[in-house]
Amino acid sequence: MPVLCSSCDDKRAVLKRPKTGHSLCKACFFRAFEEEVHQTILAANLFKHGEIVGIAASGGKDSTVLAHVMKLLNERYNYGLELMLLSVDEGISGYRDDSLETVKRNQQQYELPLKIVSYEELYGWTMDAIVKQVGLKNNCTFCGVFRRQALDRGALMLRVDKICTGHNADDVAETVLMNILRGDIARLRRCTAISTSSEGEGVVPRCKPLKYAYEKEIVLYAYFKKLDYFSTECIYSPNAYRGHARTFLKDLESVRPSSIMDIIHSGENLSVREGVKMPVQGTCNRCGYISSQTLCKSCVLLEGLNRGLPKLGIGKHHRLHDKILTQQPLTEKEERKLKSVNF
């Protein structure tokens, strides 16, 4: 006998919600998913009427669902937001070029303006060229640092008040685990925040409306709504450490689905003991972007690339950063150390 939807008790259930275990029909699942995002937005007071909001769009399932749901809720509940899509082109052939085609179709489907900023135009380097120089071990460090700044620069060009990103509950739980494993107290404190206020010059506030949405439900939502998204993995995706955290989290989830939410709650409730030294936020002496060092990470990585010293931004070389900033020559030993690609 077919199982009836436990919410409407009328239609046939087509899925079991990964988050709650409830058997629901399509319409009730859509409504439940959308309402939860709406409640997340209300509870955290994420937006103000009249704001311009940039949706970070990669063409992947998370940002496609985010764009779809943001547009829908904005109309259903009259948020009064002006929505735009903001994409970063990292310059990864065979991956980003294809996913950007998806974003361009989304732009038509959702009738939202789209801005694409590229690493090549911002930094003079594509990820293809970076991987050629640094290899496949630390490429995601470059990519992550550059993306963060690229999104900010794109947002400033579009004059948006806020950026929202498609980070979901699994991403947040995974990041909590990673920061615990690395003992990164400063990041651990920040990573569960649903929104960041403007942290400094050139930084646009960000928020995560899908923070409590399970990845499995995002996939189901996209699938049943027949959303147009791109599902191929990046060809340079060796991020082994995150991969382990992800596998660990998936194993935990299969035993106890609430693990994801439990880890987020643990992260939210951890507080830092008084007297623990935290990095002081200042601005980069070269580009003016926020940084706790003299040079921001992006400028250091870029300097390393331009000088053929790929190791420069990896690990801690603060003394060398100051030397570079003041244009002092590096010793032969320092050059040799930074030149070896074998990180």
* Annotated binding-site ranges for ATP: 56-58, 62, 88, 166, 171
- Is 122 or 270 the residue whose CB approaches ligand SF4 more closely? 122
100 contributes a contact to ligand SF4 by CB under 6 A: no
The SS3 call for residue 16 is: strand
Of the candidate residues 139, 165, 175, 293, the single one contacting ligand SF4 (CB under 6 A): 139
CB of 60 to ligand SF4, least distance (A): 10
Q: Report how far residue 114's alpha carbon sits from residue 97's, in angstroms, rounded to the nearest whole number.
A: 15
Tokens of residue 142, six digits: 């470059």
Instruction: Report CA-CA distances (Å) from 104 to 59, 65, 228.
Output: 9, 15, 11
Cβ neighbours of residue 42 closer than 8 Å, sequence gap 6 or more: none
Q: Report how far residue 296's alpha carbon sits from residue 299's, in angstroms, rounded to the nearest whole number.
A: 5
What, of ligand SF4, Zn ion, none, does residue 144 touch, CB below 5 to 8 Å by kind? ligand SF4
Q: Report how far residue 210's alpha carbon sits from residue 64's, in angstroms, rounded to the nearest whole number.
A: 12
Of the candidate residues 5, 177, 284, 302, the single one contacting Zn ion (CB under 5 A): 284
Q: Report how far residue 330's alpha carbon sits from residue 223's, in angstroms, rounded to the nearest whole number.
A: 54
- Is 177 or 234 the residue whose CB approaches ligand SF4 more closely? 234
What, of Zn ion, ligand SF4, none, does residue 302 touch, CB below 5 to 8 Å by kind? none
140 contributes a contact to ligand SF4 by CB under 6 A: yes
Instruction: Read off the amino acid at residue 162.
Output: K
Of the candidate residues 74, 109, 118, 237, the single one contacting ligand SF4 (CB under 6 A): 237
Of the candidate residues 153, 286, 307, 337, the single one contacting Zn ion (CB under 5 A): 286
287 contributes a contact to Zn ion by CB under 5 A: yes
**Count of residues interacting with ligand SF4 (CB under 6 A):** 10
Instruction: Report CA-CA distances (Å) from 40 to 6, 44, 75, 159, 172.
Output: 23, 6, 17, 25, 15
Q: From the CA atom positions of the chain, what is the Rg in Å?
A: 21
245 contributes a contact to ligand SF4 by CB under 6 A: no
Cβ neighbours of residue 332 closer than 8 Å, sequence gap 6 or more: none
Residue ranges in 31-90 that form contacts with ligand SF4 under rule CB under 6 A: 90
Q: Give the length of the chain.
A: 343
CB of 149 to Zn ion, least distance (A): 8
Stretch that binds Zn ion, among 35-43, 110-118, 266-274, 282-290 (CB under 5 A): 282-290
Counting beta carbons within 10 angstroms of the beta carbon of residue 327, is it exposed (0 to 12), middle (13 to 18) or buried (19 or more)? exposed
What, of ligand SF4, Zn ion, none, does residue 287 touch, CB below 5 to 8 Å by kind? Zn ion
- Is 32 or 122 the residue whose CB approaches Zn ion more closely? 122
Count of alpha carbons within 13 Å of 309, Cβ hemisphere only? 23
What, of Zn ion, ligand SF4, none, does residue 149 touch, CB below 5 to 8 Å by kind? none
Stretch that binds ligand SF4, among 49-57, 233-241, 262-270, 320-328 (CB under 6 A): 233-241
94 contributes a contact to ligand SF4 by CB under 6 A: no
Using an 8 Å Cβ cutoff, are 91 and 128 in contact? Answer: yes
Stretch that binds ligand SF4, among 139-147, 168-176, 179-187, 214-222 (CB under 6 A): 139-147
| DSSP secondary structure letters along 129-140 | HHHHHH-SSSHH
Instruction: Read off the amino acid at residue 120.
Output: E
Q: Which residues bind ligand SF4 (CB under 6 A)?
A: 90, 127, 139-140, 143-144, 234, 236-237, 239
Q: Which residues bind Zn ion (CB under 5 A)?
A: 284, 286-287, 289, 296, 299
